[in-house]
Amino acid sequence: MRLYDYLPSGNGYKVRLLLTQLGISFERIEMDIVDGATRNPDYLNKNPNGRIPLLETDEGIHLAESNAILFFLADGTPMLPDRSLDRARVLQWMFFEQYSHEPNIATSRHWIQHLELTEERRARLEEKRALGHEALAVMEAHLATNDFFVARRYSIADIALFAYTHVAPEGGFDLASYPRVRAWIERVASQLRHIPITQG
Amino acid sequence: MRLYDYLPSGNGYKVRLLLTQLGISFERIEMDIVDGATRNPDYLNKNPNGRIPLLETDEGIHLAESNAILFFLADGTPMLPDRSLDRARVLQWMFFEQYSHEPNIATSRHWIQHLELTEERRARLEEKRALGHEALAVMEAHLATNDFFVARRYSIADIALFAYTHVAPEGGFDLASYPRVRAWIERVASQLRHIPITQG
């Protein structure tokens, strides 16, 4: 398998982490998204939406969207529960991640790390700060009675949420008031074959 | 089953439409999201993320996130393909819808219909206009060689994308330059037991 990736990306990291934990070997192709590498015609042929990560199977099939890739790779493994309702819950948390969490927490981190902070971006960051804390509060509440997000065990729902939560401080989010989130971060990081986001 | 819904919402409409096409009877509870009905403690108990739609099963289980609900209800029916790769493709388009399509096209429609257009919102609408057209262009390109989004047949991927695409003009998106999207809208609207977004 081949993974089109970008090292600082939490979305790319989700797939890297799962592939590693499943023991699937893969070739990683680093794409400089800030420099427009995902907007060249050759790449757009592979992923018309021009984003990473993108999985290329040995049969040459391309699959985009980090959480769809997780679901595909985890199907039939212990990383994705079998029961229909549990699978729906995994998806519920993954859609929560892409809609309520990533656009606020990940985008803040990306702007702070890579883009010039114009007056307008500063104002937008304030709004993202508030919405990101709402998402963290939803996670904190769920973890009051759960060690992991779905079916009381480690799954791709945890990977999807871990990716940008554990680096939230890089986006200006202080996790001090989320003790359960911090304990869960430790639990996820202590799983077998865990790798850090900095590891390609 | 019980569906917490809001009639103008495309996310709610997705679930209403699928339930109707599957012939599943349900009770619809209208929630006035603009008036804060989804932010009261009783509702937050059911869905801590405070959004609609929310599905309540006869066993009293709550499931949130429109596309997770679609996946749950369609599992085992002709509306969701069986093959693992086809399922991943359905999810790919559903995550595309929630990340690249809905926040631009649906949000523009919501702001224009329900919120005051401040100077700042006008500027943001310009940005959403550009990103929304990028999403429509990705759909138009895919439909050049496909009648439906996945596995050459009508599925929940089409429902997820149809919900806000067919009302995109209400958000200021002219579909004139997307003839394949318009033809696909006609195809989806002509499916058995189709209902319009205005029907509860």
Give the closest of B66, B72, B102 to A84, CB-based. Answer: B72
Q: Residue B138: which pLDDT band, with cuts at 50, 70 and 90? A: very high
- Interface predicted TM-score of the whole assembly (ipTM), two decimals: 0.98
Residue A180: list chain B partners with CB under 8 A: none
State both tokens at A200.
């390609």
- Distance of alpha carbon A157 from alpha carbon A67, whole angstroms: 9
Mutate to test the interface with A, among B49, B97, B118 (most CBs of A within 10 A): B49
Helices B119-142 and B179-189, axial angle in degrees (round to 10): 80
Helices A156-165 and A84-96, axial angle in degrees (round to 10): 10
Q: What is the pLDDT of residue B120?
A: 87
What is the number of helices (H) and of strands (E) in chain B? 8, 4
Residue with tokens 């693992």: B84
Interchain contact A61–B (C-beta under 8 A): yes
Q: With an 8 Å Cβ cutoff, are A49 and B98 in contact? A: no
Question: Is B32 in a helix, a strand, or coil?
Answer: coil
Residue B66: list chain A partners with CB under 8 A: 95
Q: Residue B102: which pLDDT band, with cuts at 50, 70 and 90? A: very high
Interchain contact B123–A (C-beta under 8 A): yes
Q: What number of C-beta contacts closer than 8 Å exist between A and B?
A: 97
Return the number of other C-beta atoms located less than 10 Å from residue B8's C-beta: 16
In chain B, % of residues over pLDDT 90? 97
Residue with tokens 């592979």: A46
End-to-end CA distance of chain B: 15
Residue B75: list chain A partners with CB under 8 A: 84, 87-88
Residue A123: list chain B partners with CB under 8 A: 120
Q: With an 8 Å Cβ cutoff, are B95 and A65 in contact? A: yes
Interchain contact A144–B (C-beta under 8 A): no
Whether the pLDDT of residue B151 is over 90: the answer is: yes
- Distance of alpha carbon A186 from alpha carbon B128, whole angstroms: 38
Residue A49: list chain B partners with CB under 8 A: 96, 100, 138
State both tokens at B97.
């819808």
Strands (E), A33-171: 54-56, 62-64
Q: What is the pLDDT of residue B34?
A: 85
Residues 6+ apart with CB under 8 A from B11: B51, B52, B53, B66, B102, B106, B163
Interchain contact A96–B (C-beta under 8 A): yes
What is the b/e burial string over A158-189, where b = at least 16 CB atoms within 10 angstroms of the residue's CB?
bbbbbbbbbbbebbebeeeebebbbebbeebe
Identify the DSSP state of B30: E
Interchain contact A138–B (C-beta under 8 A): yes
Mutate to test the interface with B, among A1, A11, A99 (most CBs of B within 10 A): A99
Residue A75: list chain B partners with CB under 8 A: 84, 87-88
Q: With an 8 Å Cβ cutoff, are B99 and A96 in contact? A: no
What is the set of domains in chain A, with CATH numbers? 2-74 (3.40.30.10), 84-189 (1.20.1050.10)
- One-letter amino acid for residue B45 of the chain: N
- Distance of alpha carbon A43 from alpha carbon A33, whole angstroms: 11
- Indicate the average pLDDT of chain B: 97
- Taking only the tens place, the pLDDT of each residue in B46-96 is 999 999 999 999 999 999 999 999 999 999 999 999 999 999 999 999 999
State both tokens at B106.
């649906």
The alpha carbon of residue B184 is apart from the nearest alpha carbon of chain A, in Å, by: 19
The alpha carbon of residue B133 is apart from the nearest alpha carbon of chain A, in Å, by: 12
Query: Which burial class, exposed, middle or buried, applies to B39 when counting CB atoms under 10 A from its CB (0-12, 13-18, 19+)?
Result: exposed
Identify the DSSP state of A27: E
Q: With an 8 Å Cβ cutoff, are B65 and A95 in contact? A: yes
State both tokens at A142.
């769920």
Q: What is the pLDDT of residue B200?
A: 86
Residues 6+ apart with CB under 8 A from A176: none
Identify the DSSP state of B56: E
Return the number of other C-beta atoms located less than 10 Å from residue A25's C-beta: 7
Report whether B167 contacts B8 (CB < 8 A). Answer: no
Q: What is the pLDDT of residue B82?
A: 96
Report whether A178 contacts A1 (CB < 8 A). Answer: no
Question: Is A53 in a helix, a strand, or coil?
Answer: coil
Q: What is the pLDDT of residue A200?
A: 86
Residue A94 Cα to chain centre, angstroms: 9
* B83 to chain A: closest CA residue: A72
CA distances from A183 to A41, A104, A140, A175 (A): 44, 22, 10, 11
Interchain contact A48–B (C-beta under 8 A): yes
Pairing label, strands B62-64, B54-56: antiparallel
Q: What is the pLDDT of residue B24?
A: 97
Give the mean pLDDT per block of 10 residues along chain A (200 residues): 97 98 98 92 96 97 98 98 97 98 97 92 95 98 98 98 98 98 98 96
* B72 to chain A: closest CA residue: A88
